Structure 1
Amino acid sequence: MNRELTYIYCLLALALATGCKKPYNPPVISSDNHYLVVEGVINSGNDSTFVSLSRTVKIAEDVRSQPVINSAVAIEGEQGGAMYDLQPLGDGRYFIGPMHLDATKKYRLHIKTSDNKEYASDYVEVKENPPIDSIGFTLKNNTLQIYVNTHNAANNTRYYRWDYAETWRFHTKFQSDYIVDPVTKQVRGRRPDEEVYYCFADDKSSNIIIGSSAKLAQDVIYQGPITTIPRDAEKISVRYSILLKQYALTKEGYQFWENMKKNTEQLGSIFDAQPTQLQGNIHCISNPAEPVIGYVSVTNTQSKRIFIDNSQIPDDWLVKYPYDCGIPDSARYFNPKSGIAEVDAFIVRGGAIALEKMYIQGADVGYTFSTEFCSVCTIRGRVQQPAFWK
């Protein structure tokens, strides 16, 4: 009896313990603050300037970003100097063409939102940005590691930031020579304009890439790490290209991006650097107590592109396809055992992709087929070749 009572008491205690739990939502998650986020670099040289405006969102919200539209955005010179108005592109992005700013002046970004709030960055000097010397890569630890080399002979840049856009050509696991005609609903050969074996895909850098030569005698960045690609990545299965952009930073700008990097990428254990408050150079004029996220720099953007062919990669670096692509299946015009027209069932009506003709003892009996994921590249890329592609 005592054992049974003990068992019942344990069950009751467990029920009470689990039943009394309440979800805890800390104030930082549920707070309704939507702070302005400013992203962009004022380009002092021959390139255009793009600025993106958005607002922070709560962690619990479904949306990832909240673009700020219908704002007046301008670049202002110090002491009543020149003013340049940016044009809206939609989705919180604003644009102006090359301005060729005076390198002896300072400039700032001025923003007036649709709710009549005003924001402005500090006036910032034009920072000289030397050309990119070269982009290279090494094969190390079963990865392709891309790096940058740059220098300033005058030793007055010292602080750098980079971002990149990458494009690659790839192909599906299987090549489909046939298609279901949208009119006749019959399988026919693909025309040249219907090829879906080779495609192009794109991506952009999402991490913060910075470098400094402040502790060196010469202003040189040698093999500064940019990105790493695994040996089995589809990106390097045919041909890969990276367009690297380089920005020069002030010391204060570098410190901002360094703190941002620590706060977003290097937190994961008690031994990592602890979060710090990000002190940008953009302020709310209407309400000085309102935090604003972002840092505006003024520099001439430098860019360089390289191509990497699969022939430059070791032969045993085989691509790992993003989908499970097993051996192709087969479908007959008529299966004598089942009495079913498998071509009609699996390809015409079932959505499978016909690959090639299937023959038995020289007779055309049907097609091999696979899934769309394994034989149609346009589900994750585009057929059209980019204008810059060699």
Structure 2
Amino acid sequence: MNKSKYIWYLFVVIGVVISCKKPYNPAIVSSDNHYLVVEGVINSGNDSTIINLSRTVKLSESVSTQLMTNYTVVVEAEQGNSYTLQSEGNGTYDIGPMHLDASKKYRLHITTPEGKQYVSDYVEVKQTPSIDSIGFIPKSNYLQIYANTHDATNNTRYYRWDYSETWRFHTKFQSSFIVDGGAVRIRRADESIYYCYASDKSSNIVLGSSEKLTQDVIFQTPINTIASNSEKMELRYSILLKQYALTKDGYQFWENMKKNTEQLGSIFDAQPTQLQGNIHNVSDLTEPVIGYVSVTNVQSKRIYINKGQLPNDWIEKYPYDCGMADSAFFSHPKTGYNDVLYYIIQGGGIPIDAIYGPFGLLGYTYSSQGCADCTIRGKVKKPAFWIDN
């Protein structure tokens, strides 16, 4: 092919590609409505039921969400008992174990302070099977955490998981001294800010289905991934996994939610779909309400992962650039203040170690709070559930 024909062919290919793309200009909907968001599961077993209520906000508003207080939230059985949840503030409503009758259907009934009524559809109680095991596999640059479960009766088929994770970590530098009453003194053991515990909750939607399998078995479904250089893997890590059985409709709601929130961004991803939950405004069925209420007993399981169980070449990356400086009791020629007073007592630096000379104490090494105080990112007190190895 000569050069001129090659160029002509190239232009044709480019023209075909461009012609396949069609501009998409979605209609911008401007609404002052704040739609109700209902989060939570009616727990039919031995655990508490916790429902969180909030309302959507416009992107232009300064707050990210509106938490709903002074609502009345009731679990109602079809032709049966009702159970009123207690408001804990901040949009949280809860009740202790209700031990619901698995042969009945239940719904959530919500009443606003203005008297507006919202109800979910009556849904059957789904029995959640136990979590068989939680495991992990070190990959090249991340840790894959997975779960196994099964239902011998083949009645579950649709599953959802969420989790909370906790890890023990330490600061870059260990402070042996503390500022107290305008002076620096030795830090007591109960004042240590070197080791802390931090926690987080899952923000992704984790689903699994055995619908297309002969047996109701979920094998090594991915739950969470953690980077190999994450501080979570520094000392000891724990994950508490919760498992929920879903109806087919409930699974489809969460699947659509996942597609709309996590799987958008390219032409190969799923396209946005209308979320159809099972909660409605009694007097206005056209009002959007976000959420899906399921009824099930929740199964949970916790595991711990130690640093020694991971590859030796996995080195955690500290989240701050850290360094130490020296401070002395000698006065600055310009300010008249000594380094200890200027950089530590008044400046907020964290004293690390003492500096001694031939005639006694000269000053201290010091660093920033982010590099020497773990309490800015965690808590010193060990969680009640935590088991040391």
TM-score normalised by structure 1 residue count = 0.89
- Report the 3-state secondary structure (helix = DSSP H, G, I; strand = E; otherwise coil) of the residue aligned with 1:292: coil
The runs of 5 or more residues in structure 2 that have no matched partner are: 1-24
1:325 aligns with 2:322: yes
C-alpha displacement of 1:140: 0.6
Partner of 1:305: 302
Q: Does 1:252 align with 2:269?
A: no
Cα distance in 2 for partners of 1:237, 1:33 equals: 46
What is the aligned partner in structure 2 of residue 83 from structure 1? 82
Report if the CA contact (8 A) 2:38-2:53 is conserved. Answer: yes
| 2:149 counterpart of 1:150 | yes
Map of 1:379 onto structure 2:
376
Over residues 197-220 of structure 1, what are the superposed CA-to-partner deviations in whole Å (9 max), with x where a residue is unaligned? 001111000111110011111111
Match of 1:7 in 2: none
Q: Which residue identity lines up with residue 229 of structure 2 in the other structure?
A: D
Deviation, 1:315, is 2.2
How many residues were matched structurally?
Answer: 362
1:309 CA drift (Å) = 1.0
User: Matched residue of 1:258: which SS?
Assistant: helix
- RMSD in angstroms over aligned alpha carbons? 1.8
**CA positional deviation for 1:336:** 10
Task: Name the amino acid aligned to 1:65.
Answer: T
Distance 1:25 1:364, change over 3 A: farther
Secondary structure of 1:224 counterpart = strand
Distance in 2 separating the partners of 1:141 and 1:117: 54
Instruction: Give the corresponding residue for 1:286.
Output: 283
Contact 2:354 2:365 in 1 (8 A): yes
Matched AA of 2:132? D
Q: Which amino acid is the alignment partner of residue 148 of structure 2?
A: N
For 2:95 and 2:337, how far apart are their aligned partners in 1? Answer: 64
> How big is the shift at 1:345?
2.0
Structure 1 residue 334 corresponds to structure 2 residue 333: no
| Alignment match, 1:389 | 386
Partner of 1:9: none
How far off its partner does 1:317 sit?
1.2
Match of 1:132 in 2: 131
* Matched ranges for 1:1-390 at <5 A: 27-28=28-29, 30-78=30-78, 80-181=79-180, 183=181, 185-326=182-323, 328-334=324-330, 341-360=338-357, 363-390=360-387
| Secondary structure at 2:321 match in 1 | coil
Displacement of 1:333: 2.1
Counterpart in the other structure of 2:12: none
Q: Distance in 2 between matches of 1:227 and 1:170?
A: 19
Separation in 1, partners of 2:220, 2:114: 47
- Quote the Cα distance in structure 2 between the aligned partners of 1:291 and 1:154: 37
Counterpart AA for 1:332: A
Any idea what the Cα deviations from partners look like across 1:351-373, whole Å, max 9, x if unmatched?
Answer: 11110112346853221111111
In structure 2, distance between residues paired with 1:49 and 1:365: 60
Q: Does the residue aligned with 1:104 lie in a helix, a strand or coil?
A: coil
1:271-300: CA deviations, max 9, x gaps? Answer: 211100001111111211111111010100
Closer/same/farther in 2, CA of residues 153 and 47 from structure 1, 3 Å limit: same
Q: Please give the alpha-carbon distance, in whole angstroms, between the structure 2 residues aligned to 1:69 and 1:366.
A: 53
Q: Hey, what does 2:11 align to over in structure 1?
A: none
Distance 2:330 2:290 in 1: 66
For 1:164 and 1:341, the matched residues in 2 are separated by 50
Deviations 1:90-149 (A, max 9, x none): 111111110111111111111111121111111100011000011111101310111111
CA distance in 1, matches of 2:231, 2:359: 36
CA distance in 1, matches of 2:45, 2:346: 57
Cα displacement (A) at 1:227: 0.6
How many angstroms apart in 2 are the aligned matches of 1:105 and 1:374?
Answer: 56
Letter of the 2:306 partner, please give it: D
**Is the CA contact 2:129–2:149 (under 8 Å) kept in the aligned structure 1?**
yes
Aligned residue for 2:259, secondary structure, equals helix
Q: 2:332 touches 2:338 (CA, 8 Å); kept in 1?
A: no
Could you list the structure 1 runs, at least 4 aligned residues long, displaced by more than 6 angstroms after superposition. 335-340
Amino acid of the residue matched to residue 147 of structure 1? Y
The SS at the match of 2:53 is strand
Q: What's the CA shift for 1:334? A: 2.3
Instruction: State the shift of 1:82 in Å.
Output: 1.2
Unaligned runs of at least 5 residues, structure 1: 1-23
